Chains A and B, each alone.
Chain A
């Protein structure tokens, strides 16, 4: 087998645009028919909209298909067929694995998968890992808790499928994981940016180990936007001395995008497996041109047990203007997922994306990796409190750092902040998805 082949699928990943669109239309028709025929929940939604499989002839017809939101899935679940409810498209005894969403935005959504679905998850991840240079010679360490969250489960199986040697670092604590990486000379790793930064800090400060001197040469990140935020990516690269790759996916969608080895500043959408539509949040119109942000509506073409058809993910993305030099024809979303429609909020009349704050904080030398943002309201006045940590070796530059932070924040976000510079280690650490942004305004009105 030729391991120099740069593409997991040399046919689909380089398919010319017209052929790719034709394939997408056929695959949408197929999954729509499957969903219409097998899911009571979806069928009633489509019948109410007056649309049936015979009506899907063009991409314009696809836009008529109603979108599904996470809250709708929450409403139908915990009922028969228990616990998935009426969106289940296969007999219950064909479900081979249960997962659930993390619950970051509310009650978790359950996700049933058949064995074929699980093969499909691993297949989508195989596209990701192959593009990022994973090969059978790699020893891949997975420092995550193997549990009900999908997290890196499929990454594990995809690495096995590719032929890598996988080391599951499940119940080990952070120090034991670092020692295992050192002991086995692992060459690759997967994790959330938050955890990987914390892991590097533990190695340096508590174990006297420089993670950049370990043998890890590539890391795949997921679960947060961080690896597509340039300053966070640089910190991870510096900490680990490794290539840092981003990937975006979700439990109820699948692994839909990946950064390739050319690192074009964004993520390829796997357009053979998914249809991504970017929708203008104000007008509801489709955005095709590069550079305009909107929310993602996505379809997974090959998902069987609980389909994902025109799912309103609320991820904010935009198309890149240039094709990627890697030769893939799959389009690129510039800068990865730049936020969630839920998180991008107006403060003092200005749109604020938490990722912009992260880009500033992690771009300033002397500040630690952690930060916390609290938006609050007193009377008619809105405030943003930003807490950051100063590193011990930068204590004597505190005044300069504060001034630089204020300037950069004003420049990048057009807002003023109440800054609090704390000692290193005083802010919370996270092992899974971090919750650094708190908006207390809505809590007070609830």
Chain B
């Protein structure tokens, strides 16, 4: 694995971002502009998880396809 890439920090920050955006989505339940944009951010986050978390350490990003 490329020594200059800190996979552990990447993974930690991705997990933090997911928690934050999932909370945004929850808070935006009656606020379409927040909820729908949060949904789109989650889709982008999933792409970062596919690129990073699926292989980082022993952790597998999620048991879910989404």
Contacts and interface: CB of A to CB of B under 8 A. Distances in A.
Contact of A10 (B2, B40, B47, B54): B2
Interface in A15-31: 15, 19, 23, 26-27, 30-31
B50 A123 contact: yes
Interface residues of B, number: 22
A399 interface: no
A333 B50 CA distance: 24
B15 interface: no
Contacts of A14: 2
Interface in A95-150: 114-116, 118-120, 123
Nearest to A123: B47
Given A119-B44, A120-B47, A302-B65, A27 B5 contact: no
A9 B51 contact: yes
Contacts, number: 61
Interface residues of A, number: 27
Interface in A208-237: none
A311 B17 CA distance: 34
Interface in B20-61: 39-40, 42-44, 46-47, 50-52, 54-55, 60
Contacts of B51: 9, 11-12, 123
Given A10-B5, A11-B2, A23-B55, A119 B46 contact: yes
Contact of A34 (B2, B39, B42, B64): B64
A27 B53 CA distance: 12
Contacts of A416: none
Contact of B66 (A23, A116, A123): A116
Nearest to B7: A11
A12 to B, nearest CB: 6
A212 to B, nearest CB: 37
A299 interface: no
Given A119-B43, A120-B47, A31 B55 contact: no
Contact of B46 (A9, A19, A116): A116
A11 B44 CA distance: 19
A26 B47 CA distance: 17
A115 B60 contact: no
A11 B65 contact: no
A23 B1 contact: no
B50 A11 contact: no
A34 B65 contact: yes
Nearest to B42: A116
Nearest to B50: A302
A158 to B, nearest CB: 11
A27 B40 CA distance: 23
23 contacts: A11-B5, A11-B7, A11-B55, A12-B51, A12-B55, A15-B55, A19-B55, A23-B54, A26-B54, A27-B54, A31-B65, A33-B63, A34-B65, A114-B66, A115-B39, A119-B46, A119-B47, A272-B54, A273-B50, A302-B46, A303-B65, A304-B65, A304-B66
Interface of B: 1-2, 5, 7, 39-40, 42-44, 46-47, 50-52, 54-55, 60, 62-66
Interface of A: 9-12, 14-15, 19, 23, 26-27, 30-31, 33-34, 114-116, 118-120, 123, 272-273, 302-304, 307
Given A11-B55, A30-B62, 18 more contacts: A11-B1, A11-B2, A11-B51, A12-B55, A15-B1, A26-B54, A30-B64, A31-B65, A116-B42, A116-B46, A119-B44, A120-B47, A302-B50, A302-B65, A303-B65, A304-B65, A304-B66, A307-B65
Nearest 9 pairs of A and B residues by beta carbon: A116-B43, A34-B65, A119-B43, A123-B47, A115-B43, A10-B2, A304-B65, A9-B51, A119-B47
